């Protein structure tokens, strides 16, 4: 989904370039280090010295090594060397999309493939910021605001990908800009400036189409601000706080990217496109006195959000939140005691800026033990008088959490490891609703298909879906069994 200009600036403000670091021994599935990001940038820039003004890094991440090579290394570690460490890079070079593989042992590009056909790389934050800013100096847009009686300083805008609907001719890398009106609220998504279409060519970074189709009332700001300080009575009952205390510390250990808890052992890494990646998840069998593999690799592969509104300004909104915006790239710092309980431990991650330099993302993961008061197993025996035998096992689990804010929606992604040997994956969907401005103020006025529900005066909640798909390479005892 699209990002507002203010949200993008906020995200940029919390990211900071970090000093070089070097890890002496890396796991083959570890995320790229800051030093490796810098090496990638240098290698690509050196290989295209005349393209520096037309070279952007859309994605940099680990080029996943062959599964059998990783498992062979694990079986023979530390007597064998790990698989070659490589980076996979998607870069725009002279208006072409290059898919490159960088081999760190050679400090060289070992594969450089130019992508032809449909499909374009994910957006960068900088591209979105630059595209959003164009409308504020575009005379037709300023005239459209003036016609509606809107103040320019209260307007914020976001970039929307345009989807593909069977066109046989490519339109290049373009986004459509949607703008909103604040003026009394920070809930910008409830105040769309409807029926204006602004199309931006990302390669030229200029507006190539503008249309002001009709004037639709901007929904009211009253009652839309979600900040606690702006809420008015009546309030619901105030709950007393709950404190989670582990006086002896957590039961899990973190060694680099390796996490161990109870009978579980797994590897945790981060990717700008898919977010958290759980690998090599194994559980210890106390009877066999050995670890048994459960899952080789698991992550969110895509989040597809199609809107079902056929109006001209909405039909193209069929978002691939991971592929187009970056599920990991949109991860936000977790708030201690709010996003995660007091007993949580936090981990950071790194992504590449548009120029290839490493950027730190603090507190992108939290890991904590959960005791929700549930019972894993119990039994009370009354058939052996006079004894009353009761045995209860509390349900404890380990949670790995990340929150990704993709425009108006916040995805709470949990990987939960349970003592019974199961892995539970959940995605909680929260945030704000994207609405369409409407001329209608009451449902009885509606005499056409509006592709949504009238929520308030001039406010339609558009029909849409969220499809979340996972990549799960399950190895239950035998490689590739499931």
Instruction: Give the chain's length.
Output: 482
Could you tell me the two tokens for 122? Answer: 């994910």
pTM of the predicted model over 0.85: yes
321 is catalytic: yes
d(CA 322, CA 299): 11
Domain assignment present for 455: no
Can the peptide bond before residue 407 be classed as cis, meaning omega within 30 degrees of 0? no
Alpha-carbon distance values, 64 to 28, 188, 265, 311, 329 (Å): 8, 39, 20, 42, 18
Q: What is the pLDDT of residue 172?
A: 86
Domain assignment present for 163: no
Last residue of a domain, one of 82, 115, 148: 115
CATH code, 363? 2.70.98.20
Active-site position among 325, 327, 409, 451:
409
Domain count, the chain: 2
Domain assignment present for 147: no
440 is catalytic: no
Residues 6+ apart with CB under 8 A from 92: 54, 55, 56, 58, 98, 121, 203
Domain assignment present for 297: yes
CA angle 225, 133, 217 (to 5 degrees): 45
Q: What is the pLDDT of residue 321?
A: 98
Could you tell me the two tokens for 206? Answer: 């200029």
d(CA 148, CA 215): 7
d(CA 299, CA 470): 6
CA atoms within 13 A on the CB side of 265: 9
Last residue of a domain, one of 86, 115, 144: 115
Instruction: Enter the DSSP assignment of 272.
Output: T
CATH code, 47? 3.10.450.40
| Structural domain span for residue 427 | 253-435+463-474
d(CA 94, CA 111): 18
Domain assignment present for 450: no
Last residue of a domain, one of 96, 115, 134: 115
Domain assignment present for 153: no
Residue that is written with structure tokens 């909104």 in the block: 317
Domain assignment present for 244: no
Per residue of the chain (482 residues), what is the pLDDT tens digit? 544 444 444 444 444 444 434 445 789 999 999 999 999 999 999 998 877 678 999 999 999 999 999 999 999 988 889 999 999 999 999 999 999 999 999 999 999 999 998 889 999 999 999 999 999 999 999 999 999 999 999 999 999 999 888 877 777 899 999 999 999 999 999 999 999 999 999 999 999 999 999 999 999 999 999 999 998 888 888 889 888 889 999 999 999 999 999 999 999 999 999 999 999 999 999 999 999 999 999 999 999 999 999 999 999 999 999 999 999 999 999 999 999 999 999 999 999 999 999 999 999 999 999 998 999 999 999 999 999 999 999 999 999 999 999 999 999 999 999 999 999 999 999 999 999 999 999 999 999 999 999 999 999 999 999 999 999 999 988 765 44
Helix-, strand-, coil-residue percentages of the chain, each rounded to 5: 15, 40, 45
Domain assignment present for 187: no
Cross-sheet strand order for the sheet of 459-462: 435-437, 459-462, 452-456
Residue 176's DSSP bridge partners are: 160, 199
Active-site position among 321, 325, 350, 411:
321
Residue that is written with structure tokens 């592969």 in the block: 301
């Amino acid at each position: 989904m699209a990002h507002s200009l203010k949200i993008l600036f906020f995200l940029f403000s919390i990211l900071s370039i970090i000093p070089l670091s070097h890890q002496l021994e890396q796991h083959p599935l570890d995320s790229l280090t800051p030093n490796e990001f810098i090496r990638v940038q240098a290698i690509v820039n050196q290989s295209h010295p005349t393209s520096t003004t037309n070279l952007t890094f859309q994605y940099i991440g680990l080029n996943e090594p062959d599964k059998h090579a990783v498992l062979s290394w694990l079986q023979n570690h530390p007597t064998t060397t790990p698989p070659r460490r490589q980076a996979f890079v998607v870069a725009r070079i002279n208006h072409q999309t290059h898919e490159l593989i960088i081999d760190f042992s050679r400090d060289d590009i070992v594969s450089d493939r130019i992508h032809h056909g449909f499909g374009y790389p994910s957006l960068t934050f900088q591209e979105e910021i630059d595209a959003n800013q164009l409308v504020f100096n575009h005379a037709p847009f300023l005239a459209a605001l003036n016609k509606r009686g809107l103040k320019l300083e209260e307007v914020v805008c976001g970039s929307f990908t345009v989807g593909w609907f069977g066109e046989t001719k490519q339109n290049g890398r373009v986004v459509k800009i949607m703008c909103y009106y604040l003026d009394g609220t920070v809930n910008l998504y409830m105040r769309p400036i409807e029926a204006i279409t602004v199309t931006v060519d990302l390669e030229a970074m200029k507006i190539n189409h503008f249309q002001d189709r009709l004037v639709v009332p901007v929904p009211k700001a009253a009652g839309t601000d979600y900040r606690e300080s702006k809420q008015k009575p009546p309030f619901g009952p105030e709950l007393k706080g709950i404190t989670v205390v582990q006086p002896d510390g957590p039961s899990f250990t973190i060694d680099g990217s390796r996490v161990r808890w109870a009978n579980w052992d797994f590897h945790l890494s981060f990717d700008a496109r898919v977010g958290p990646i759980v690998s090599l998840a194994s559980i210890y069998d106390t009877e066999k006195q050995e670890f048994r593999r459960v899952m080789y690799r698991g992550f969110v592969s895509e989040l597809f959000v199609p809107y079902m509104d056929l109006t001209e300004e909405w039909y193209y909104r069929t978002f691939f939140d991971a592929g187009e915006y970056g599920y990991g790239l949109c991860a936000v710092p977790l708030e201690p005691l709010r996003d995660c309980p007091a007993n949580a431990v936090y981990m950071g991650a790194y992504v590449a800026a548009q120029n290839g330099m490493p950027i730190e993302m603090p507190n992108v993961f939290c890991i904590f033990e959960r005791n929700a008061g549930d019972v894993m197993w119990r039994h009370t025996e009354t058939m052996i008088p006079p004894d009353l035998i009761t045995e209860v096992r509390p349900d404890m689990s380990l949670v790995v959490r990340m929150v990704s804010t993709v425009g108006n929606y916040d995805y709470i992604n949990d990987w939960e490891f349970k003592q019974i040997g199961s892995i539970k994956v959940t995605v909680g969907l929260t945030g704000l609703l994207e609405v369409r401005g409407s001329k209608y103020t009451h449902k009885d006025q509606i005499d056409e298909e509006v592709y949504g529900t009238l929520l308030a005066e001039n406010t339609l909640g558009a029909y849409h879906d969220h499809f979340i798909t996972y990549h799960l390479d399950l190895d239950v005892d035998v490689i590739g069994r499931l």
